[in-house]
Amino acid sequence: MIVFRYDKTFEGLLTAVFDAYNRNTFPVKLLSSDEIELLFVDACHTVITDPKKSGRVWKGLEKRMMPVTRNMLTYVWLSEISGCDETVFRYIRKVFDSKTSIEMNFADDDVLQVRNIAQKVNREKLRVIEFVRFQKTADGIFFAPIAPEHNVLPLTLEHFTDRFADQQWIIYDTKRDYGYFYNLKETTEITLDSDTLILEGKVNEELLDPNEQLFQRMWKSYFRSMAIKERINPKLHRQHLPVRFWKYLTEKQ
């Protein structure tokens, strides 16, 4: 029984696929560097992430898969669901070992899992796009904290850079403690001291633009005036607007 250790990056996972075929040994388990080995392990191979190796695997998938299906593998990886890396590893192995396409073979458990997990991640991506609320800070940057279930922030960048190309903004994942800053030219990954910057899902009032609180009060007033009390349906409201997003929404404060 063989296990592989790798750095828990997507490039590292693709390198593990390359090593497995190069060594002609396939692991029963993928572990991080600090995980405890299983009992009765015969050998443990440490994978050294190599961009050239991972690139060759990705190019091999390009030849055998449709772009939309190949991208589903990255969605599954970003899901951060336990065991998702092993699901991707098995899926890739089946792609390379099969003489015909497996993309529509939903009788295969791994193919079905990849499709289902990718759909969950895509739904979360759309929720982030829909429920992000920017607050203008004193230095003129629009800041939006968010804590999605899955690590979908990288999947939303194309939308936000296109939709808000004329202003500087930061979207910050408070759950994973990283975010992206757009400076009108490019988007870069950043980390911040979120404990002092963000309080209960909102930017610290001391750091806001003087007019931001006024605009928030105006938005709340508009939201209340547009609501029809007789048609309020709390159950349906929670279905369309998950409670976990409420603390980020000005109108729900």
For residue 200, what pLDDT is reported?
Answer: 67
Whether residue 178 has pLDDT greater than 80? yes
In the chain, pLDDT over 90 holds for what percent of residues? 68
- Check pLDDT > 70 for residue 161: yes
Write out pLDDT tens, residues 78-105: 999 999 999 999 999 999 999 999 999 9
**pLDDT at 6 (0 to 100):** 95
Residue with tokens 């400076």: 183
**CB burial string 64-89: b at 16+ within 10 A, e below:** ebeeebbebbebbbbbebeebbebbb
Of all residues in the chain, the percent with pLDDT exceeding 70 is 98
Helix, strand, coil percentages for the chain (3-state, nearest 5): 50, 15, 35
Calpha distance 77→121 (Å, rounded): 10
Question: How would residue 55 be classed by pLDDT, with cut points 50, 70 and 90?
Answer: very high
List phi, psi (to 5°) of 32.
-85, 175
Per-residue pLDDT tens digits for 195-232: 777 776 778 787 888 888 888 888 888 878 888 888 88
Please give the C-alpha separations between residue 41 and each of 8, 37, 179, in angstroms, as whole numbers. 20, 7, 39
| Report field, pTM of the whole predicted structure over 0.75 | yes
List the chain domain ranges.
1-64, 67-131, 132-252
Residues 191/224, Cβ–Cβ less than 8 Å: no
- pLDDT surpassing 90 at residue 59: yes
pLDDT class of 233 with cuts at 50, 70, 90 = confident
CA pair distance 170, 148, nearest whole angstrom = 15
Angle at 187 between CA 183 and CA 189, to 5 degrees: 115
Confidence at 143, pLDDT banded by 50, 70, 90: very high
**Which H or E element spans position 173?**
strand 169-173
The answer to whether 4 and 26 have CB atoms below 8 angstroms apart is: no
With a cut of 80, say whether residue 36 has pLDDT above it: no
pLDDT band at 252 (very low <50, low <70, confident <90, very high): confident
Element at 179 (helix H, strand E)? strand 178-182
Contact 49/7 with Cβ under 8 angstroms? Answer: yes
* pLDDT at residue 9 tops 90: yes
pLDDT at 127: 94
